[in-house]
Each structure stands twice: as structure tokens, then as C-alpha cells.
């Protein structure tokens, strides 16, 4: 039965930024498919998922992954979702803002992949899902560090897929389009920018976090066992335009 391939019973999933926004929807989707879900964030999730508090700006990824495997005995799915954005013209972007964005959106992603990858390679199985962006493909407007980090996430995803596919570890990415979360409040508050965005989305609306959950379940599951290094846009058709 092909639907059985999508079940995640017995799998342990760690979702960074799983307390709100896109991460919360991905965590709920993985849980509904049968996974045991743990969440990493600075503020406490309202969901009942096991919470591992950590600031990804300064994370000891090996210790964090040790805590998860110490609690659950294994780690099958890592979703690198947590991310931040700082908006400014490139000439006004401070070193501090650049470092903050690269630190959370790219450095922490690599460190968590490395730590989880060791565990998954030893298990002979695992799935890593990195959350990319439309700005993994485009330069965006006034978000140079974010665009650089998200391009980096795609390069990292492909590099790790090359290394780890033969070891049974699937590394792929989801590239969300324009999704209504805290991260995009400023865009939606700017009536002109909001109208321009919606007008360019073939689906004719902003996405909601729940639009991404099915893709995460798929990528975490046996159904995606031969998928390596893919970047799946879930964008209402934005990139096709
Ligand atoms: P969001 O609503 O602003 O949520 C960001 C999440 O990241 C929160 O759970 C936050 O938790 C966590 N986080 C941020 N900094 C952290 C830190 N230093 N340590 C630990 N956790 C941290 O954003 P979102 O829109 O859901 O975005 C989630 C991901 O999707 C990001 O990677 C973003 O770049 C990507 N994305 C979003 C969109 C969009 O349109 N919304 C589009 C493309 C890609 P705490 O604050 O509690 O720590």
C-alpha cells in the first residue's frame, strides 16, 4: 500500500524553530504522520512537543543532538527550519546584522547537519530537510545576508546529499514561497509591496504554514528514499512565473 510509505511511526524528528510559524506546522505534520517530535527554539512552544531550548546563534550542535538521542534513543529526521531576516540596503547592512543572519540561517544549519549526520550515518538511515527560500534562487530586495545564507543552504544541501546518499541519509530542501508568518509581517504591512507580491503569485494568495506540511512529511518518509539533493519549491507557482 503506497500510503504506508508516507507513515513516520517510530521515527524521531527534531524541528528547529518548531514553536511557531512554518516550523510549528511542519512539526504538527510530522507528528500527525506518526513521528515523535522534538522542538528547538529560544521561546517555549505552546504545543506539547518535547522542547530543547537553545539559541542557534551560539549552539553546541553535538550536545544538542546528544540530548535528543539521549532522550529518544535515535534521531531520524532533522528539519533545519529556524531562520531570521534583517532588512536594509546592502550599504547600510552592519557586520552585526550580516553575522547574525549568516550565523542562524547558515552556520547553525551546517553544524546541526554535521551533528545529526553522524548519528544518521551510524544508523544507516535518516532524513535532513533544510528550509531554503525563494531567495535561494533570487537576490531579493534589501536582504543581502538572507539571500546569501539561503543560497548557501542549497549548496550545502547538495554537498551533503553527495556525501551521504550512499549512507542512507537523504538531504533535501523545501523552498517556501511567500508565507504569512511573523517573518513576513513587514511585507504584508506595506500595502504596495503586498499587492505586488500577491499579483505575482500564480495561486493568487499568500501561502500559509500548513501548505508546507505535506512536503515535509514526504521528504521525511520512505516515499522519498531515492530523493537526494532536491530543492522543492512550495511557492504557489512563484518561480514558474
Ligand atoms: P518566524 O515565524 O519568524 O519563526 C522563526 C522561527 O525560528 C521561530 O520558531 C524562532 O523561535 C526560531 N528562531 C529564530 N532565531 C532563533 C535562534 N537564534 N535560536 C533558535 N531558534 C530561533 O519565521 P518563519 O516564516 O516561520 O520562517 C521559518 C523558516 O522559513 C526560516 O528559515 C525562513 O527563512 C524560511 N522562509 C520563510 C518564508 C516566509 O515567507 N515566511 C519564506 C521562505 C523561507 P524563537 O524566536 O522562539 O527562538
Show the ligand 1 pocket: residues with CB < 6 angstroms. Answer: 17, 19-23, 41-43, 55-57, 81-84, 104, 131, 133, 176, 178-179, 181-184
Give pLDDT, residue 27: 98
Nearest CA to ligand 1 atom 10: 17
The residue ranges of every structural domain in the chain are: 2-230
pLDDT of residue 106: 98
Query: What CA–CA distance (Å, rounded) separates 128 from 173?
Result: 8
Mutate to test the pocket of ligand 1, among 47, 181, 210, 231 (most ligand atoms within 8 A of CB): 181
| Residue 68: pLDDT band with limits 50, 70, 90 | very high
pLDDT at residue number 17? 98
Confidence of residue 185 (pLDDT cuts 50, 70, 90): very high
Cα(116) to centroid of ligand 1, in Å?
Answer: 20
CATH, domain range 2-230: 3.40.50.720
Cell numbers found for residue 129: 530537510
Three state DSSP letters for the chain: CHHHHHCCCCCEEEEECCCCHHHHHHHHHHHHCCCEEEEEECCCCCCCCEEEECCHHHCCHHHHHHHHHHHHCCCCEEEECCCCCCCCCHHHCCHHHHHHHHHHHHHHHHHHHHHHHHHHHHHCCEEEEEECCHHHCCCCCCCHHHHHHHHHHHHHHHHHHHHHHHHCEEEEEEEECCECCHHHHHHHHCHHHHHHHHHHCCCCCCECHHHHHHHHHHHHCHHHCCCCCCEEEECCCHHHC
Contact 128, 160 (CB under 8 A): yes
Length of the chain in residues, anyone?
Answer: 241
Q: Hey, which of 14, 15, 16, 17 would you mutate to test ligand 1's pocket, going by the most ligand atoms within 8 Å of its Cβ?
A: 17
Q: Does residue 178 carry a catalytic annotation? A: no
Q: Confidence band (pLDDT; 50, 70, 90) for 25?
A: very high
Q: Residue 48's pLDDT is what? A: 93
Determine the average pLDDT of the residues in 14-18: 98
Q: Which of 15, 21, 47, 110 to mutate to test the pocket of ligand 1 (most atoms within 8 A of CB)?
A: 21
pTM exceeding 0.85: yes
Question: Average pLDDT of 62-80?
Answer: 98
Which ligand 1 atom sits closest to the C-alpha of 19?
9
pLDDT digits (tens, 9 = 90+) for 35-66: 999 999 999 999 999 999 999 999 999 999 99
The model's pLDDT over 104-143, given as tens digits with 9 standing for 90+, comes to 999 999 999 999 999 999 999 999 999 999 999 999 999 9
Provide the pLDDT for residue 63.
98
- Distance from the CA of 33 to the center of ligand 1, in angstroms? 22
Q: pLDDT digit string (tens) for 186-231?
A: 999 999 999 999 999 999 999 999 999 999 999 999 999 999 999 9
> Annotated catalytic residue: which of 49, 98, 137, 146?
146
Over the stretch 139-180, which tens digit does the pLDDT of each residue have? Answer: 999 999 999 999 999 999 999 999 999 999 999 999 999 999
Mean pLDDT of the chain: 98
Residue of the CA atom closest to atom 47 of ligand 1: 43
What is the rounded CA–CA span in Å between residue 231 and residue 160? 13
Task: Determine the Cα–Cα distance for residues 164 and 204; give it in Å rounded to an integer.
Answer: 38
pLDDT at 81: 98
The maximal CA–CA distance of the chain, rounded, in angstroms, is 56
* Interval between CA 21 and ligand 1 midpoint (Å): 7
Amino acid at each position: 500500500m503506497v500510503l504506508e510509505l508516507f507513515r513516520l511511526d517510530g521515527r524521531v524528528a527534531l524541528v528547529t524553530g518548531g514553536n511557531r510559524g512554518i516550523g510549528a506546522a511542519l512539526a504538527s505534520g510530522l507528528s500527525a504522520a506518526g513521528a515523535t517530535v522534538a522542538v528547538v527554539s529560544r521561546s517555549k512552544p505552546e504545543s506539547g512537543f518535547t522542547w530543547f531550548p537553545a539559541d542557534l546563534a551560539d549552539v553546541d550542535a553535538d550536545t544538542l543532538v546528544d540530548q535528543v538521542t539521549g532522550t529518544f534513543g535515535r534521531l531520524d529526521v532533522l528539519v533545519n527550519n529556524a531562520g531570521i531576516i534583517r532588512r536594509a540596503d546592502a550599504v547600510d547592512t552592519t557586520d552585526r546584522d550580516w553575522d547574525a543572519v549568516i550565523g542562524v540561517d547558515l552556520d547553525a544549519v551546517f553544524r546541526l547537519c554535521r551533528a545529526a549526520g553522524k548519528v544518521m550515518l551510524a544508523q544507516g538511515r535518516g532524513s535532513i530537510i533544510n528550509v531554503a527560500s525563494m531567495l535561494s534562487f533570487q537576490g531579493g530586495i534589501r536582504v543581502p545576508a538572507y539571500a546569501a545564507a539561503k543560497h548557501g543552504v542549497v549548496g550545502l544541501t547538495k554537498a551533503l546529499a553527495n556525501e551521504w546518499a550512499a549512507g542512507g541519509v537523504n538531504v533535501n530542501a523545501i523552498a517556501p514561497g511567500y508565507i504569512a508568518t511573523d517573518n513576513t509581517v513587514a511585507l504584508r504591512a506595506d500595502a504596495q509591496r503586498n499587492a505586488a507580491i500577491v499579483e505575482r503569485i500564480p495561486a493568487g494568495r499568500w501561502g500559509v504554514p500548513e501548505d508546507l506540511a505535506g512536503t515535509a512529511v514526504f521528504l521525511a518518509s520512505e516515499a522519498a528514499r531515492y530523493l537526494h539533493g532536491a530543492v522543492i519549491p512550495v511557492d504557489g507557482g512563484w518561480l514558474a512565473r
